[in-house]
Amino acid sequence: VIERGVPDRSVVTTCAYCGVGCSFKAEMQGDALVRMVPWKNGKANRGHSCVKGRFAWGYATHRERILNPMIRDTIDEPWREVSWGEAMGFAAQKMRGLQEKYGRKSIGVITSSRCTNEETFLVQKLARAVFGNNNTDTCARVCHSPTGYGLGQTFGTSAGTQDFDSVEKTDVVIVIGANPTDAHPVFGSRLKKRLRQGAKLIVVDPRRIDLVKSNHIQAAHHLALRPGTNVAVVTALAHVIVSEGLMDEAFIRERCDWDEFLAYAEFVSNPRHSPEAVEALTSVPAAELRAAARTFASGGNGSIYYGLGVTEHSQGSTTVMAIANLAMLTGNVGREGVGVNPLRGQNNVQGSCDMGSFPHELPGYRHVKGPEVRAIFEQAWGVSIDPEPGLRITNMLDAAVDGSFKGLYCQGEDILQSDPDTRHVAAGLAAMECVIVHDLFLNETANYAHVFLPGSTFLEKDGTFTNAERRINMVRRVMAPRNGYADWEVTQMLANAMGAGWSYTHPSQIMAEIAATTPSFAGVTYDKIEALGSVQWPCNDSAPEGTPLMHVDGFVRGKGRFIVTEYVATEEKTGPRFPLLLTTGRILSQYNVGAQTRRTDNTVWHERDLLEIHPHDAENRGIHDGDFVRLASRSGETTLMAKLTDRVSPGVVYTTFHHPDTQANVITTDHSDWATNCPEYKVTAVQVSLSNGP
Ligand code: SF4
């Protein structure tokens, strides 16, 4: 007799939600998952977890999952369920036909930061080796692409500089544009522990996040800046440090380009960057800015953690570079307890960027224009690689509207719901002649699809995810794919239907190809990951067991590079019609657009999105707590329930975007980061007024 709910085996795997990358023991009874138990040997979580990883896995067996491929000739027709073979034949014929009719560059791919490294590597390979172009982009485009640009320019590589353990040696922490206790809870707990031990905290955020004051934690400084002024605030911090002689000159002379430092020092010393000069612009009192700069520069080991409140701005890349400047200025790079760390939103944002998902970069952040880099892949793949960078997601959609981009393979990403300017995304998708959606559920993007390929969950496949500290963790198959195939197998079927002749039989073979072509992964094998538990890249002959801390003896680019970061105001202006600024974030129990968490059987997952508004702004509008309000911007409008709170300052409102009904991206603008096109989700001029309800 088998007692229901009693596990008879377990498999260790990695959470598929946020970039902390917690390890779990999936306890099984036969092919049924009984529970997820945080694994005490997991190096990123050490036996801890949050509510999402532990309980929100029910979506894997949710009744709305699509398990059979479907096709249709036009998006007005109903779907027809077909065999995998027929779906692949249909998709391949359409995509090849488009290339014959409109040219080699008329089709492209979007990779997912939710899928494994191996799956992502195959999707960009599909574009480069089978489609014959570099039209590959990733959903990291809309979150951390400015990290790639900013840290690449200043330090030489796009990655956090330290491991999570390092937080235990830090003395003073800047958290800017991040809310770790909600969005990265297990790391947030480790940070809180260090703060309770006495480390000082500076929070730079328009909203009073929990870290500012909670449970024996009191931030030394909360710089509640006006949304959109990150660059002015960080540059003002640097102004104080330089003008008061608080910088680490020995570090700068030894580790950084001295001439570039001199130019930077002259720039930040200008009185127009002083706290007093930017007080009105940023809404941060000058005295508070000065005090925060002194705390950071003289407080010992200094760490900076940042999130999407830094990157999702028209100056996202500039802010990342300003943060890197601040770390170099204070000598806070290259040892335990210091550094610059992007907190990655999705489980494999780091990996999807590492794997060459960008239209200008091959795996390992190497530009496609480099003939010696192309030669490595040309030899490995037996094809010639286009030396011209391809299209970003936004460019693909623009080109579709213009009529030159006609076909898209979109894996694990609901661009209609998660990308900015929903109307433009819809217009682009509607203009394409073949949209292939590869996903778990019939998402919003699938309304414009001609082929639907069922996806598999993290529980149904082998592979690896790379977390925010560059840690490559094993993902292990816990149960058979309900749809029949892991995602890497589906991509391989599509490639082969288009004549590729790929013959991978296990993701370890794909990792071997990654290692053979990508220097920072040269020493990575499944056997090594199994033996060590996990490996942090770079892992190669110089670091056979991986690299917990980056830039220890020198920056990856050689000398660290100070870059002048001029503040440029966003084009999104408030005015009489739209007098408030909207910014956005997440709550602990939900995840992004909620596709997974909302499909888990727990009432916590079904909380609605609320609009936080300061009581003064609410009173002026006759709004009470719990009233429905109309939130309108220049782009569109939606209806939300109001929550009166002084967590936000007067003039600022805040919401989350977990429910499709919220339609936050109908509200947000089409402004984007100047360097990477990352959308400016965090600053939208809005009006709020009473409404009768949705
Ligand atoms: Fe998963 Fe992130 Fe929660 Fe860890 S902290 S359990 S990785 S969602």
Give a three-class secondary structure readout of 594-610: CCCHHHCCCHHHHCCCE
Answer whether 17 contacts ligand 1 (Cβ < 6 A): yes
Task: Give the lowest-confidence range in 137-141, 493-497, 572-576.
Answer: 137-141
347, 114 in Cβ contact below 8 A? yes
pLDDT digits (tens, 9 = 90+) for 643-679: 999 999 999 999 987 776 666 677 888 888 888 888 8
> Is there an atom of ligand 1 within 6 Å of 53 CB?
yes
Residue 506: is it exposed, middle or buried by C-beta count within 10 angstroms (0-12/13-18/19+)? middle
Q: Would you say the CB of residue 49 lies under 6 angstroms from ligand 1?
A: yes
Distance CA 610, CA 243 (A): 43
What does the alpha-carbon distance between residue 506 and residue 692 come to, in Å, rounded to a whole number? 56
Where residue 145 falls among pLDDT bands split at 50, 70, 90?
Answer: confident
The reported pLDDT for the residue numbered 686 is 96
**For residue 467, is pLDDT > 80?**
yes
pLDDT, average across residues 475-489: 95
Instruction: Kindly report, residue by residue over 502-560, the tens digit of the pLDDT.
Output: 999 999 999 999 999 999 999 999 999 999 999 999 999 999 999 999 999 999 899 99
Domain residue spans of the chain: 9-61, 70-142+348-463+483-522, 145-342, 580-690
- 347 Cα: distance to centroid of ligand 1 (angstroms): 8
Which residue among 50, 57, 591 is best mutated to probe the pocket of ligand 1, counting the most ligand atoms within 8 A of its Cβ? 50
Report the distance separating Cα 599 and Cα 458, nearest Å.
Answer: 15
Rounded Cα gap, residues 111 and 410, in angstroms = 7
Q: From the CA of 603, how far away is ligand 1's center (Å)?
A: 19
Average pLDDT over residues 135-150: 83
Share of the chain above pLDDT 90, in %: 78
pLDDT score for 675: 87
9-61 has CATH 2.60.120.960 classification: no
- Count of alpha carbons within 13 angstroms of residue 548, beta-carbon side: 12
Q: How far is the CA of 183 from the centre of ligand 1 (A)?
A: 9
Distance 425 CA to ligand 1 centre (A): 30
Question: pLDDT digit string (tens) for 381-413?
Answer: 999 999 999 999 989 999 999 999 999 999 998
Q: What share of the chain is helix, strand, coil (3-state, %, to 5)?
A: 35, 20, 45
Q: What is the architecture, at CATH level 2, of domain 145-342?
A: 3-Layer(aba) Sandwich (3.40)
Residue tagged 């309000």 (tokens):
629
**Length of the chain in residues, anyone?**
694
Contact 390, 134 (CB under 8 A): yes
What is the CA angle 137-53-521, rounded to 5?
45
Show Cβ contacts of residue 392 under 8 Å, excluding neighbours closer than 6 positions.
137, 141, 359, 677
| Amino acid type, 297 | A
Looking from the CA of residue 591, the nearest atom of ligand 1 is 8
> Mean pLDDT over residues 673-694, rounded?
88
Domain 70-142+348-463+483-522 has CATH 3.40.47.40: no
Cα(356) to ligand 1 centroid in Å equals 25
Q: Work out which ligand 1 atom sits closest to the CA atom of 50.
A: 3
What pLDDT was estimated at residue 293? 98
Distance from residue 588's CA to the centre of ligand 1 (Å): 10
185 in contact with ligand 1, CB cutoff 6 A: yes
* Residue in 444, 412, 405, 410 with CA at minimum distance from that of residue 428: 405
Q: Whose CA is nearest to atom 2 of ligand 1?
A: 18
pLDDT at 605: 66
The stretches of 595-694 forming alpha helices (DSSP H) are 615-620, 664-667
Q: pLDDT, tens digit, for every residue of 193-247?
A: 999 999 999 999 999 999 999 878 899 999 999 999 999 999 999 999 999 999 9
H or E element at residue 639: strand 637-644
The amino acid present at 571, given as its one-letter code, is E
- Rounded Cα distance between 658 and 608, Å, is 8
Dihedral sign from CA coordinates of 111, 113, 116, 118: positive
The pair of three-digit structure tokens given for residue 598, joined into one six-digit string? 């909302």
ipTM for this model: 0.99
In angstroms and rounded to an integer, the radius of gyration of the C-alpha atoms of the chain is: 24
53 and 15 in contact (C-beta within 8 Å)? yes
pLDDT, averaged across the chain: 93
Query: What pLDDT does 611 receive?
Result: 95
Atom of ligand 1 nearest to the CA of 20: 7
Hey, what are 277's tokens? 């000069």
Q: 239, 247, 180, 211: which is closest to 19 by C-alpha?
A: 180
In the predicted model, is pLDDT for residue 2 greater than 60? Answer: no
The CATH number given to 580-690 is 2.40.40.20
